[in-house]
Amino acid sequence: MNNKIYVFIGSKKDFENFLDEKIATDEDITYFMDLIKDYNANLRQQHAYLHGIIDVKNLIVHADDYASVFEHVIQNFISIVTTNHDVDTTFLHNPPKRIIESLQASYAENIEYEYTKYRNIDRDVLKEIWRNISTDIIGQEKAKKSVVSNLFRLCNPSQKKPVVIMFLGDSGIGKTETAKVISRVLGGRLLRVQFSMMQTMEGYNYVFGSEHSKSSLAKDLMSRESNVVLIDEFDKVNPNFYNAFYQMFDEGVYIDTNYQVDLSRCIIICTSNFMSETEVIKSMGMPIFSRFDDAIMFEYLSISEKEIILDNIYNSYLQNFSDEEKQIVEATNIYQWHKENLHRFKNVRIIKSRVEKAINDLLVDKMIIE
């Protein structure tokens, strides 16, 4: 079948970069879905080349391709690829377990595994994380120190277990933004999973896996850009779902029907809107809660902290407008009114939406409707 088989596990961006490194610009490329079309045509006997062998220099199989074919294609992957094709080099992105197992059984010596290389945390990186969350997250001094303290264990190169943290507290006070800042420093887009949407059978299948053509948590974890995962409202699902996370939290391995994902040294952050550990334990149960390294409380914002947030939101939003529009806004009491009424606004999201709406309403009245 092949002189070489590359199995790449990781993000789409890194897979594309890997292809650029390995394939010269003048080399021929065949995409898996085109090969499948040829295979189907072969079965229907519609092409003249059917009785000959087609040389394939580079065969590329993207992660999304597995969801675009029938189950029998996954089951008979090798047979289908080799029918009427002589493939030199194959590149597979995040293949299901069944394909890996069949390749390993027949072509073990030809396989080379490549992985997304996530940025390691050392003391310098941890200092960078601290500087960024200190600047970008207003207030929450105790929570921010606790976050960095928990991440410090990743400075030990022998640490393989993921760091698993629960962020507690009301919505819109910095939990998600803290996770985003950490992910940004570590060099990739945050993988964010919303568990409040997991109340149906579709949610169950997403967590535990079903047909390979369906979306799944395992696929998303395998394709993550950074080694930071945020699971929002982890307490909102049926407790039976937590069975899928015991091994993930304990050992850094996530396994579903179709995939096995390595989460070594991953930063796994789960959020809850509860305001105490007691409430979380009552909702989730001790078996899963005890697997968290820490539960960090994010406190309500003070008036002085809201003032800083208001300044940032107001000044940042004004940068989107022309000088004429800015003058119209600054001639009003929009900023002062919101400053005097910050006690009415519970969190950052509400402050942002109210300020932006007030400015938009004003400019529409002055420049569009009049």
Average pLDDT of the residues in 101-126: 94
pLDDT in tens, 235-287: 888 788 899 999 999 999 999 989 999 999 999 999 999 888 999 999 899 99
Q: Is the pLDDT confidence value at 41 over 80?
A: no
Mean pLDDT of 211-218: 85
**CB 275, CB 169: distance < 8 Å:** yes
CA distances in angstroms from 272 to 180, 192, 257, 347, listed in the order given = 16, 14, 28, 15
Residue 207 CB-density burial (10 A; 0-12 exposed, 13-18 middle, 19+ buried): buried
Residue 50 has pLDDT above 60, yes or no: no
Amino acid at 76: N
Which region among 81-85, 114-118, 224-228, 249-253 has the lowest average model confidence (pLDDT)?
A: 81-85
Say if residue 11's pLDDT is above 90: yes
pTM, entire model: 0.88
Confidence category of residue 342, pLDDT binned at 50, 70, 90 = very high
Residue 195, Cβ neighbours under 10 Å: how many?
20
The pLDDT of residue 43 = 66
Integer Cα distance of 52 and 63 in angstroms:
29
What is the pLDDT averaged over residues 46-63? 75
Question: Residue 51 pLDDT more than 80?
Answer: no
